[in-house]
């Protein structure tokens, strides 16, 4: 009996110790778990803080973008200029043509500026303003060599005209944002945006220019489509820095515009005389130089304009320029290709002016003085 009690007491003590161990272990486990929870909550809090900072940074970035857009006021620019852009429609022997134009005030004379190719060979013309009012139009002057034309609408009241300001294109830079407003496919008052992709390009409109390139052209990524031709290319102040003129068929982001400096240089003559006679003439044919051509010619010059031939009696021929000469500079300005040659002459020279032309001829470097001439008349 005593032995049984002792056994019972021992069992009871063991049970109590076991229970106490369980309780103590549970307390320790709970404490450890609580610490882990606290640590996890702290980590979560830190993570939330980091996420908040990142999110907050994103908000700031978005806010900056919004402010930037507000500063450039794309919507407001469009509202300011849309009434200045017109739809031009013309009738030709083969059908109807249409394009765009914009209103300009040249020292008190209100005109509509567009492309020559929009109005070429038209029998009748009309201009329609953004409010839907249309009027008969007449051609005051054209220049196929710059793809420019100036119109007027004699019966349109002065209240219709909202002239745009044309500013110099001298300071344009590649990458600058630009806007194009016009009537692609007859969709009146469409605006697109892009950047200036390149400067000093040349484009070929042989149908109107007799093979002469239109020089000093702006290349832009702003989407341009048939019907945009003649519309303004604008800076972020809503001022004209060019006039949209052409696209590369089936391309994406390859649009071209005549620079505003060309418009400003020609506008007086187009209004007063109906033509512009200030395009300089060298009288050469050729192609761009490159490394492979230089290797074939056994010369070290890999840039410039390789002369293929000269027109007899033209300025280049009179100055002694020959086939296979490489034109590398004009008046000390390096000329890398035909685009730069044409653009330099168009922007900086006039017929009758003497220019110093740098020539690489074999192993010789020559400087020849050339008296620039007038281009022959364009095709009718």
Q: How far apart are CA 322 and CA 283, in angstroms?
A: 11
220 bridge partner residues: 196, 255
- For residues 264-275, average pLDDT: 96
Structure tokens at 343: 């653009």
pLDDT in tens, 331-343: 999 999 999 999 9
Expressed in angstroms, the distance from the first to the final Cα of the chain is 139
pLDDT in tens, 137-184: 999 999 999 999 999 999 999 999 999 999 999 999 999 999 999 998
Q: What is the value of pTM for the model shown?
A: 0.78
Q: Which residue has the tokens 């800076």?
A: 235
Checking if the pLDDT of 303 tops 90, the result is: yes
Q: Which helix (H) or strand (E) holds 136?
A: strand 134-143
Strand 364-371 and strand 354-361: pairing?
antiparallel
User: Catalytic amino acids?
Assistant: 117, 147, 229
């Amino acid at each position: 009996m005593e032995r049984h009690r002792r056994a019972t007491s021992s069992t009871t003590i063991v049970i109590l110790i076991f229970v106490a161990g369980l309780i103590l272990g549970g307390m320790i486990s709970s404490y450890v778990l609580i610490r882990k929870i606290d640590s996890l909550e702290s980590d979560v809090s830190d993570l939330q803080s980091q996420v908040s900072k990142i999110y907050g940074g994103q908000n700031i970035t978005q806010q900056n973008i919004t402010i930037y857009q507000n500063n450039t006021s794309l919507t407001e620019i469009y509202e300011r200029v849309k009434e200045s852009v017109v739809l031009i429609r013309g009738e030709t022997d083969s059908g109807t043509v249409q394009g765009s134009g914009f209103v300009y005030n040249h020292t008190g004379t209100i005109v509509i500026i567009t492309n020559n190719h929009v109005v070429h060979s038209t029998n009748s013309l009309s201009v329609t303003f953004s409010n839907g009012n249309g009027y008969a139009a007449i051609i005051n002057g054209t220049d196929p060599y710059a793809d420019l034309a100036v119109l007027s609408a004699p019966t349109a009241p002065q209240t219709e005209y909202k002239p745009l300001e044309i500013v110099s294109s001298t300071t344009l830079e590649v990458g600058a944002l630009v806007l194009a407003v016009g009537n692609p496919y007859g969709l009146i008052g469409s605006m697109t945006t892009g950047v200036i992709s390149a400067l000093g390009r040349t484009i070929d409109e042989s149908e109107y220019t007799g093979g002469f390139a239109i020089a000093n052209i702006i290349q832009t990524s702003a989407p341009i489509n048939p019907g945009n031709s003649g519309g303004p290319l604008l800076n972020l102040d809503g001022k004209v820095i060019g006039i949209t003129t052409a696209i590369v068929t089936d391309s994406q982001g390859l649009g071209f515009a005549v620079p505003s400096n060309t418009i400003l240089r020609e506008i007086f003559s187009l209004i007063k005389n109906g033509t512009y006679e200030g395009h300089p003439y060298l009288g050469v044919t050729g192609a761009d130089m490159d490394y492979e051509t230089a290797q074939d010619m056994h010369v070290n010059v890999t840039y410039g304009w390789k002369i293929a031939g000269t027109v007899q009696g033209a300025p280049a021929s009179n100055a002694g320029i020959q086939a296979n000469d490489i034109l590398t500079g004009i008046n000390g300005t390096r000329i890398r290709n035909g685009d730069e040659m044409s653009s330099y002459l168009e922007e900086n020279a006039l017929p009758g002016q003497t220019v110093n032309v740098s020539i690489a001829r074999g192993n010789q470097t020559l400087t020849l003085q050339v008296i620039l001439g007038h281009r022959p008349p364009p095709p009718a």
